[in-house]
């Protein structure tokens, strides 16, 4: 009998079930720091915009309302240091995960083509290549690839700030990657959804520098050909339940993607487009949300270090990338005995085997309880 469906690997998070049960056995219950889903309320300015747009009787456009596209253009100029975008260089998407998963296919990649992603990375970069029939390859620099593999590179993913490591690439690093990829005729796609959540040297609220975009003029040299930047409102605006994101960059590629997405019916609902517009126009709620995450980070990070874990990188984003120099499953077991659920680093590539990922997307009370359990552990 013919078997239908794609032959894909099992969803990795299912393997956490025994550790979740172990954590639930703690007298105080389980504290889940494994998944980065927002827990704070969606800002009122966004909810009001959504409520006012419920009379959505007509089909929305795939390219997005002009007011939304203008808000994206203005946001890139104001918040990301990217001036000069035009309305045909931006495109709303149904969250950023679908964009990551479908971009290789929509770019026309297939058998024989190589998609490069960071050595420690969100699994969907690999799945996007697999769905298109292309080959995913893990590398942090194109110099790591042999000549034959380099010749087949069609798409290079960069994730800065990175999930799960929190690494930030500066403009020089981004430019070097762009120059390498352009020499091969490959597209560079940058997943930048944590860019507003920089810490330390990257925390603008405390005198730091803004996290640079792939589309920064210092990176592009004024030429956005073969460059795409993706962004999501899920993290900075507690927008994950809607969801809403967007893509910007190379005008010709954007036109081709728009045509493909029209045929496929990839349309952001009209009320969500209105809510996105409101979110992009209001910076106050972003700063307020960042203050919450900063306080949670300042509570959890020293507690992990005092417990005996080393926190690596974690310069930006919503995660702490921690290690005790042992297999991640052993560390997960120890944390589960404290009632704390973390994410195994091996989910993000073999290079993450000795790390665990802990999310700051838990309530103040849960973060405080986790810190207290670590202190008592």
319 plus 199 within the same structural domain: no
Number of domains in the chain: 2
When pLDDT is cut at 50, 70 and 90, the band that residue 3 belongs to is low
pLDDT digits 0-9 by tens, 76-86:
999 999 999 99
Lowest-confidence pick of 8-12, 249-253, 300-304, 368-372:
8-12
**Residue 217 has what pLDDT?**
98
297 plus 238 within the same structural domain: no
Nearest-5° Cα angle at 161, 317 to 132: 115
Whats the size of the chain, residue-wise?
A: 377
Tokens of 60: 């929305």
pLDDT digits 0-9 by tens, 203-225:
999 999 999 999 999 999 999 99
293 plus 154 within the same structural domain: no
pLDDT digits 0-9 by tens, 88-97:
999 999 999 9
18 plus 52 within the same structural domain: no
- Which helix (H) or strand (E) segment is 17 a member of? helix 17-24
67 plus 188 within the same structural domain: yes
8 A C-beta contact, residue 328 and residue 344: yes
8 A C-beta contact, residue 231 and residue 192: yes
**Residue 14 has what pLDDT?**
74
Task: Mark which of 255, 281, 307 sits at the end of a domain.
Answer: 281
Which CATH number characterizes residue 30's domain? 3.90.1150.10
The residue whose two tokens read 């000795």 is 354
CA torsion sign for 287, 293, 297, 298 is positive
**Residue 15 has what pLDDT?**
83
Q: Which pTM value belongs to this model?
A: 0.95
81 falls within a domain:
yes
Strand partners, 224: none
Average pLDDT of every residue of the chain: 96
Structural domain boundaries enclosing 174: 44-281
DSSP states of 42-56 as a string?
Answer: PPHHHHHHHHTT---
- Which helix (H) or strand (E) segment is 253 a member of? helix 251-264
Q: What φ, ψ does residue 230 adopt, rounded to 5°?
A: -110, 145
Which CATH number characterizes residue 122's domain? 3.40.640.10
254 plus 180 within the same structural domain: yes
Cα(147)–Cα(145) distance, integer angstroms: 7
DSSP 3: P
- Which helix (H) or strand (E) segment is 311 a member of? strand 310-312
* 109: three-class secondary structure by DSSP: coil
4 falls within a domain:
no
63 plus 76 within the same structural domain: yes
pLDDT digits 0-9 by tens, 84-129:
999 999 999 999 999 999 999 999 999 999 999 999 999 999 999 9
pLDDT digits 0-9 by tens, 15-64:
899 999 999 999 999 999 998 999 999 999 999 999 999 999 999 999 99
152 plus 137 within the same structural domain: yes
102 plus 177 within the same structural domain: yes
The mean per-residue pLDDT over the stretch 288-306 comes to: 98
The mean per-residue pLDDT over the stretch 248-275 comes to: 98
């Amino acid at each position: 009998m013919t078997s239908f469906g794609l032959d894909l690997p099992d969803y990795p998070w299912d393997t956490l079930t025994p550790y979740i049960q172990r954590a639930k056995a703690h007298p105080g219950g389980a504290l889940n720091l494994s998944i980065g889903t927002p827990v704070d309320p969606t800002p009122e300015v966004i909810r009001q915009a959504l409520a006012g747009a419920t009379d959505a009787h007509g089909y929305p456009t795939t390219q997005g309302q002009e007011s939304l596209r203008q808000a994206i253009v203005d946001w890139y100029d104001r918040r990301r240091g990217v001036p000069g975008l035009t309305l045909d260089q931006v495109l709303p998407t149904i969250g950023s995960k679908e964009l990551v998963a479908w971009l290789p296919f929509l770019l026309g990649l297939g058998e024989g083509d190589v998609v490069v992603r960071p050595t420690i990375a969100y699994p969907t970069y690999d799945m996007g290549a697999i769905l298109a029939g292309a080959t995913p390859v893990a590398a942090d620099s194109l110099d790591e690839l042999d000549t034959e593999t380099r010749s087949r590179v069609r798409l290079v993913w960069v994730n800065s700030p990175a999930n799960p490591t929190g690494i930030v690439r500066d403009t020089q690093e981004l430019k070097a990657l762009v120059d390498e990829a352009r020499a091969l005729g490959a597209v560079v796609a940058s997943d930048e959804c944590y860019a507003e959540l920089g810490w330390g040297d990257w925390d603008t609220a405390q005198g730091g520098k803004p996290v640079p975009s792939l589309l920064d003029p210092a990176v592009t040299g004024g030429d956005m050909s073969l460059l795409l930047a993706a962004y999501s409102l899920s993290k900075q605006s507690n927008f994950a339940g809607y969801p809403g994101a967007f893509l910007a960059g190379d005008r010709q590629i954007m036109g081709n993607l728009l045509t493909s997405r029209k045929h496929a019916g990839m349309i952001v609902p009209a009320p969500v487009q209105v809510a996105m517009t409101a979110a992009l126009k209001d910076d106050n709620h972003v700063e307020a949300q960042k203050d919450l995450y900063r306080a949670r980070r300042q509570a959890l990070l020293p507690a992990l270090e005092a417990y005996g874990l080393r926190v690596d990188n974690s310069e930006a984003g919503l995660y702490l990338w921690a290690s005790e120099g042992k297999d991640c499953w052993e560390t997960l077991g120890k944390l589960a005995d404290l009632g704390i659920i973390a994410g195994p680093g091996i989910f993000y590539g073999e290079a993450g085997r000795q790390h665990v990922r802990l999310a700051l997307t838990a309530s103040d009370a849960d973060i405080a309880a986790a810190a207290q359990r670590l202190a008592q552990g």
